[in-house]
Structure 1
Amino acid sequence: MKVTQHVHQLPVTTPTLYPATTTNVYVVTNGNSAVLIDAGYEHEVAHQAVIEYLANIGSPNVEAILLTHYHRDHSPGTKFFTAHFDCPVYAHPAEVAFIEREIAPVRIEHTLLDGDVVSVGGMELHVLHAPGHTHGCLNFWLPEDKVLFTADNIVGEGTTWIGPPDGDLRAYLHTLQRLKKYPASWIAPGHGQMIGNVQEKIDFFIGRRLEREAQIFELVSERALTVDELVQAVYRDTVHPSVIWVAERTIQGHLLKLVGDGRVSKTEGARYLEKK
């Protein structure tokens, strides 16, 4: 679906986390040139849907695939698309080894750093190193259409999980504050529909993290608790057993930040307590 003058959003079926059921592949076009942002999973029906869509909009020349991060709902489809379009794959250096594990035998031909610019038919697509969800996560800024491509740092429905080994909560909050500085009219998220209330949405994500941090800090200020005890106290019966690991890593991510901030200490028996 065409969502702005130069941006097309294609939700494709992937093995992602509830409430999402699809991952967005974006086509950024200008004249006869195009790039893909993310590639989804190895799913033949999804691949064909992207191919048919591109044919319907005039078969622009796909010059590169830009991967935001390595997770299996964003990168493995690269194997099909690089062969089909005969184009290179770009990613952040910190993601290369992880991505190449997902897309083998395809290799990353070019790496992207913060401040780089990818040309799409002469139109500038700006590269943002946006760590938080993963250490080498990339976001993109298209000033021509005032669109921020936020990958999983900001999603259209629900929130995203930030925790070890990939996530860093302090880096994530810094990334969100940075994204607020762009005069964006739209957020193009990794999952879900385009987001128009840009500043409100970013503030919501920041507020949700700080609210959870305050909740965890209040609990450990009362008595020493393990990660499992905190998961039960914070999430109780609200998390399905199949994704309880997400809750555990989220709690771990908050604890790592609180320990790093000098507000919480880890005691014997892997318990956490307010640092007096």
Structure 2
Amino acid sequence: MLARKEIFPNVIELNYQAGELLGCNVYLIFEGNEWLLIDIGFDETVQDYIDVIRNIDFPLANCKTLIATHADVDHIQGLAKAKQILGTTVTSHPLAVKALESGDKLQTFAEIALQDIHLDMPPVKIEHQIKDGDILTVGKLELEVWHTPGHTNSQLSFRMGDLLFSGDNIYRDGCVGAIDAHHGSDIPDFIKSLERIRHSDVKWLLPSHGPIFRKDDAQLDKTIARLNGYLHMADFGTCAVDWPLMDEWEDEIVKGVLPK
């Protein structure tokens, strides 16, 4: 058996544990004999993650549930396979259920024809639905469920003490999860979710991609300001709430203003 590399007490990130980048961040949270996983990644890496779990001596039968932070293929394509291997349940926000249970390729980003992305999206039954304010238990540990929409409408985060498993809300470089109209992104909701994180007293953010990092309020302020700008930019199409240039153009037309 290999030594467990806990990044915080009772928390293991499986890419870090493996010593190689296999996919999205997969967090194993444990207490006593009970454990669960937050996300699972692509189907092709499920067995790699399972092997890591075996090698650090976690009985597979003790997995309480598999949590989908949201319904994106890079986080959840492997759910059906992992569920079968572990004999456990799957947990998600209610707004992710339809896409997960139907294997919706468009909503999950498994099918993006113009970028030649054509991935399988195995449907999976969701046994447990969770919403903002719910409490998940792992042994004696408690995880508070936060609904943090914006990247997707089903995005979940989980607070455990001064840790926040923050999904695709923000990364160490200040970037955020993809904003795309076909994906159901919502910029005003995204801003509210980031403001919730900004004003919380959590100390560490454990994102779904990239390194874990200390919450940096100044960085969050910059990111929130940037997204506020997105609200008024044609770059973001129907995800923007308006395009001020069109108001200026209309005013110039009415006044007969000519190009200068």
Give me the whole-angstrom Cα distance separating, in 2, the residues matched to 1:66 and 1:117: 13
For structure 1, the 5+ residue unaligned runs are 13-19, 217-226, 232-249, 266-271
Counting only pairs closer than 5 Å after superposition, residues 188-199 of structure 1 correspond to structure 2 as 188-199=206-217
Measure the CA separation in 2 of the matches of 1:92 and 1:69: 7
Paired residue for 1:128? 146
Q: Does the aligned pair in 2 maintain the 1:93–1:111 contact within 8 Å?
A: yes
Give how far 1:211 is off: 4.2
Question: How high is the TM-score relative to the length of structure 1?
Answer: 0.72
Q: How many residue pairs end up in the alignment?
A: 221
Task: State the AA in 1 paired with 2:42.
Answer: Y
Superposed displacement of residue 91, structure 1: 0.6
| Structure 2 CA distance for aligned equivalents of residues 204 and 7 of structure 1 | 29
* Matched residue type, 1:137: Q
Out of 118-127 and 47-56, give the one that drifted further: 47-56
Tell me the residue number matched to 1:162.
179
The answer to whether residue 220 in structure 2 is matched with residue 202 in structure 1 is yes
- 2-structure distance, mates of 1:55, 1:182: 36
Provide the rounded CA distance (Å) in 1 between the counterparts of 2:98 and 2:77.
13
Name 2:33's counterpart in structure 1. Answer: 32
Candidates 238, 248, 256, aligned match of 1:252: 238
Q: Over aligned residue pairs, what C-alpha RMSD do you find? A: 2.5
**Residue type matched to 2:6 in 1?**
K
Structure 2 Cα separation of the partners of residues 122 and 80 of structure 1? 28
TM-score of the pair, normalised by structure 2: 0.76
118-127 vs 1-10, greater mean Cα deviation:
1-10
Q: Answer yes or no: is 1:147 the counterpart of 2:151.
A: no
SS at 2:25's partner residue?
A: strand
1:156–1:191 contact (8 Å) kept in structure 2: no
Partner residue, 1:219:
none
Report the counterpart of residue 186 of structure 1 in structure 2: 204
SS at match of 2:74: coil
Change (3 A) 1:108 1:251: same
Structure 2: which 5+ runs fail to align?
Answer: 104-120, 252-260
AA of the residue aligned to 1:148: L
CA offset at residue 141 of structure 1?
Answer: 0.6
Report the equivalent of 1:108: 126
Q: Compute the displacement of 1:33 (Å).
A: 1.1
Match of 2:52 in 1: 53
Contact in 1 for aligned 2:23/2:42 (Cα 8 Å): no
| 8 Å Cα contact 2:133-2:145 kept in structure 1 | yes
| Aligned pairs (5 A) from 1:87-98 | 87-98=88-99
Could you tell me how far apart the structure 1 residues matched to 2:153 and 2:221 are?
22
CA drift at 1:105? 4.4
- The AA in structure 1 aligned to 2:242 is L
